[in-house]
Amino acid sequence: MTEGSFIHPAIFFFLGAAGLAFIPVRFRTIYLMGIPVLAGLSLAASTPGLHGVYSFVGREIILGRMDDLSRLFGVIFILMALIGIIYGLHEKEKTGPSAAALMYVGGALGVVMAGDYITVFIFSEVMAFSSVFLIWLKRDAASLSAGFRYILMHLFGGVCLLGGVIIRLIETGSTAFTPQPVEGIGSALILIGFLVNAAVPPLSAWLSDAYPEATVTGAVFLSAFTTKTAVYTLIRGFPGTEALIWLGAVMAIYGVVYAVLENDIRRLLAYHIISQVGYMVCGVGLGTELALNGASAHAFSHILYKGLLFMGAGAVIEMTGKRKLTELGGLYKTMPITLILYMIGGFSISAFPLFSGFVSKSMVVSAAGESHQAAIWLMLTLASAGTFLHTGLKLPYYTFFGKDSGIRTSEPPRNMLWAMGLAAFFCIGIGILPQALYALLPYPVEYHPYTGAHVVGALQMLLFTGLGFMLLLKQLDPETKISLDTDWVYRKGARGLLWLAAHPIARADAALGEAYLSLILRPLERLVQWLWVFERRIVDGAVNGVASLTYACALRMRLIQSGQIQHYLLVMVAGLFVLLTIYLLLF
């Protein structure tokens, strides 16, 4: 516990969400934009150390752990919240979507400043339950069911996390959120909980399923917070876990492969979130200072350029009402500014020199090289080519150029362009002045992205990918198809389960009931019937027999009761005589 100033930045978001309904509409803009500004000031004023330490059911709760890593994620979350809020300012329906987004950001800030697992769990649940409204508020059947699948997957992850935390607590007596080796079921369950949130295949389908069904502004928020919070928790909890190296590299390629097949513009971008988070997961697995710096830096720049790409795609959807590449085309004529801003995001994610991805992604790739992981290095580099191919070439080509769809629209509302411009400004700023980002990283940085070999190598890589795109353009034409992902298991598989319940299980249940009836109930019934007969004939008969005998004897005995003493004497003498006779005869 350190003395020093600390106001938790999440408080501004939670209170802001609670107060939203009471603010008159004409003050909403200033109110909404004031929240991230105040949170940013409180973050800037906070001193490193542990703050907000409480005791809860005998456990230590640490609400505010402030160090370089949590500050880095705090800065980017608050900046992205400001950008997202500006992007959504034109929306007529303000209260619901804004409240959900503010709660969601608050939850993310809560997780990255949590010092113990109980706090991590609580804020993760806040994130899951507020973010699902960013999907549901699109208010159509597809988003309703996608939202339910989204929340169920996050509940699964949350249950894994909670179970793991409790088992770890019993085993080690600690809920501290600190680096740990994966040994025993407790830490393994915690890791699974984090991997669900990081969308690591095969637990990734919730992301590509739900994000394209969110509202235009909602998807911008979603693209930034859940997976990057998960990357933070992995950096904090499981650095150097070797399995993550391979999971991350496979993930980077997995997202790229699905992006080739995709027709829905935001689902294509969603698959590239999975791909990009793969680099970060890989960096966490490598676990060296350069790799962890790279994962953190890439999370930072990824939030900005992915937010920018989702804003660009959202602007297209907002203005045209269309979301498929096969229905779009030729929009550069009427949305040139959107195109340019989108392309800044596209160049950033593709790691073009002078754009943000170049200075962050290459840290992870170089870390793989320094760890002598040649296969990982080649996989990550291959995925880079795929990233440029889809996000930088295919999507903008078929949306803004390609076959003219005949759609004539206009640029999106000015606030959307401002938000995109702000994100684009930071994408280029980080690319030109990487030292500004490097200064925020958790470890000291001795990495120089702008060497001659690196710049020339990256440009060759990207432009020859462009050559491949030109030559194979016809192959890439989008198809009006959807691709099956692991969500098949719970979308079709669940139907299989229902069929199983309705047919074989129901039949087995009926057969079991029948068997019970004929093997147990019927014989039991017969036994009872027999017992009833026994009871009536034998038991009752015996009792009644004794009773009627007694009664009959009593009737006869009554005759002796004459009231005359001589008769009584006679009976007594006779009785004595009988007893004596019996006695003499028997003994």
The partner residues of 142 in beta bridges, in order of sequence, read none
Among residues 288, 409, 415, 486, the one that binds other proteins under rule CB under 8 A: 409
Q: Give the integer Cα–Cα distance in Å for 364 and 295.
A: 6
**What are the tokens at 27?**
């003050």
Instruction: Give whichever of 32 and 349 is closer to other proteins, judged by the CB atom.
Output: 349
Instruction: Give whichever of 109 and 256 is closer to other proteins, judged by the CB atom.
Output: 256
Among residues 1, 25, 453, 585, the one that binds other proteins under rule CB under 8 A: 453
Q: Dihedral through CA 568, CA 574, CA 575, CA 576, nearest 10?
A: 110
How near is the Cβ of 209 to other proteins at its closest, in Å?
10
Instruction: Give whichever of 177 and 258 is closer to other proteins, judged by the CB atom.
Output: 258
Among 297-305, 312-320, 437-445, 532-540, the segment contacting other proteins (CB under 8 A): 312-320
- Which residue carries 């994610």 as its tokens? 349
* Closest by CA position to 315, among listed 255, 265, 349: 265
Among residues 230, 417, 458, 478, the one that binds other proteins under rule CB under 8 A: 458
Q: Give the integer Cα–Cα distance in Å for 211 and 153.
A: 14
Among residues 19, 179, 202, 336, the one that binds other proteins under rule CB under 8 A: 336
Q: Give the integer Cα–Cα distance in Å for 153 and 115.
A: 25
DSSP string, 206-220: HHHHHGGGS-HHHHH
Q: Does 450 bind other proteins (CB under 8 A)?
A: no
How near is the Cβ of 411 to other proteins at its closest, in Å?
8
Q: Give the integer Cα–Cα distance in Å for 302 and 276.
A: 8
Instruction: Give whichever of 174 and 405 is closer to other proteins, judged by the CB atom.
Output: 405
Neighbours of 413 (CB within 10 A): 15
Cα Rg of the chain (Å, integer): 38
Query: Does residue 272 contact residue 199 with C-beta atoms inside 8 Å?
Result: no
Among residues 161, 195, 286, 385, the one that binds other proteins under rule CB under 8 A: 385
Instruction: Give whichever of 31 and 397 is closer to other proteins, judged by the CB atom.
Output: 397
How near is the Cβ of 251 to other proteins at its closest, in Å?
15
Among 185-193, 319-327, 519-527, 574-582, the segment contacting other proteins (CB under 8 A): 319-327
How many angstroms separate the Cα of 520 from the Cα of each of 297, 516, 517?
Answer: 70, 5, 6
Instruction: Give whichever of 28 and 491 is closer to other proteins, judged by the CB atom.
Output: 491
Distance of CA 334 to the CA centre of its chain: 38
Buried b (16+ CB within 10 A) or exposed e, 291-322: bbbbbbbbbbbbbbbbbbbbbbbbbbbbbbeb
Half-sphere exposure of 496 (CA within 13 A, CB side): 6
Q: Does 467 bind other proteins (CB under 8 A)?
A: yes
Instruction: Give whichever of 80 and 313 is closer to other proteins, judged by the CB atom.
Output: 313
Restricted to residues 523-562, the positions that interact with other proteins (CB under 8 A) are: none
Instruction: Give whichever of 451 and 566 is closer to other proteins, judged by the CB atom.
Output: 451
How near is the Cβ of 333 to other proteins at its closest, in Å?
5
How near is the Cβ of 391 to other proteins at its closest, in Å?
13
How near is the Cβ of 260 to other proteins at its closest, in Å?
4
Instruction: Give whichever of 12 and 398 is closer to other proteins, judged by the CB atom.
Output: 398
Among residues 129, 148, 246, 332, the one that binds other proteins under rule CB under 8 A: 332
Restricted to residues 490-509, the positions that interact with other proteins (CB under 8 A) are: 491-492
Instruction: Give whichever of 228 and 272 is closer to other proteins, judged by the CB atom.
Output: 272
Among residues 459, 500, 520, 582, the one that binds other proteins under rule CB under 8 A: 459
How near is the Cβ of 408 to other proteins at its closest, in Å?
4
Contact pattern for other proteins over residues 248 through 277, marking x by CB under 8 A: --------xxx-xx----------------
Q: What is the DSSP letter of 47?
A: P
Q: Give the integer Cα–Cα distance in Å for 344 and 309.
A: 9
Q: Does 234 bind other proteins (CB under 8 A)?
A: no
Q: Does 92 bind other proteins (CB under 8 A)?
A: no
DSSP string, 493-511: HHHHHHHHIIIIIHHHHHH
Under rule CB under 8 A, how many of the chain's residues touch other proteins? 69
The partner residues of 60 in beta bridges, in order of sequence, read 55
How near is the Cβ of 362 to other proteins at its closest, in Å?
12
Q: Does 401 bind other proteins (CB under 8 A)?
A: yes
Q: Does 411 bind other proteins (CB under 8 A)?
A: yes
Among residues 226, 229, 320, 348, the one that binds other proteins under rule CB under 8 A: 320
Q: Does 460 bind other proteins (CB under 8 A)?
A: yes
Instruction: Give whichever of 14 and 206 is closer to other proteins, judged by the CB atom.
Output: 206
Q: Does 144 bind other proteins (CB under 8 A)?
A: no
**What are the tokens at 577?**
């005589």
**What are the tokens at 377?**
């290095």
Q: Does 397 bind other proteins (CB under 8 A)?
A: yes
Planar angle of CA 214, 82, 348, nearest 5 degrees: 75
SS3 63: strand
Q: At what angle do helices 117-136 and 141-172 cross, to 10 degrees?
A: 180
Q: Which residues have C-beta within 8 Å of that of residue 170, sequence separation ≥ 6? A: 186
Instruction: Give whichever of 246 and 490 is closer to other proteins, judged by the CB atom.
Output: 490
Among 17-25, 116-124, 420-428, 481-489, the segment contacting other proteins (CB under 8 A): 481-489
How near is the Cβ of 370 to other proteins at its closest, in Å?
6
Among residues 407, 422, 441, 445, the one that binds other proteins under rule CB under 8 A: 407
How near is the Cβ of 93 to other proteins at its closest, in Å?
17
Q: Does 484 bind other proteins (CB under 8 A)?
A: yes
Instruction: Give whichever of 235 and 343 is closer to other proteins, judged by the CB atom.
Output: 343
Q: Give the integer Cα–Cα distance in Å for 234 and 194.
A: 7
Q: Give the integer Cα–Cα distance in Å for 328 and 313.
A: 11
How many residues belong to the chain?
Answer: 587
SS3 66: strand
Q: What is the DSSP letter of 25?
A: G
Planar angle of CA 129, 131, 133, nearest 5 degrees: 85
- Residues interacting with other proteins, by CB under 8 A? 256-258, 260-261, 318-321, 330, 332-334, 336, 366, 369-370, 372, 374, 377-378, 381-382, 384-386, 389, 393, 397, 401-404, 406-411, 451-453, 456-470, 472-473, 475-476, 479-484, 491-492
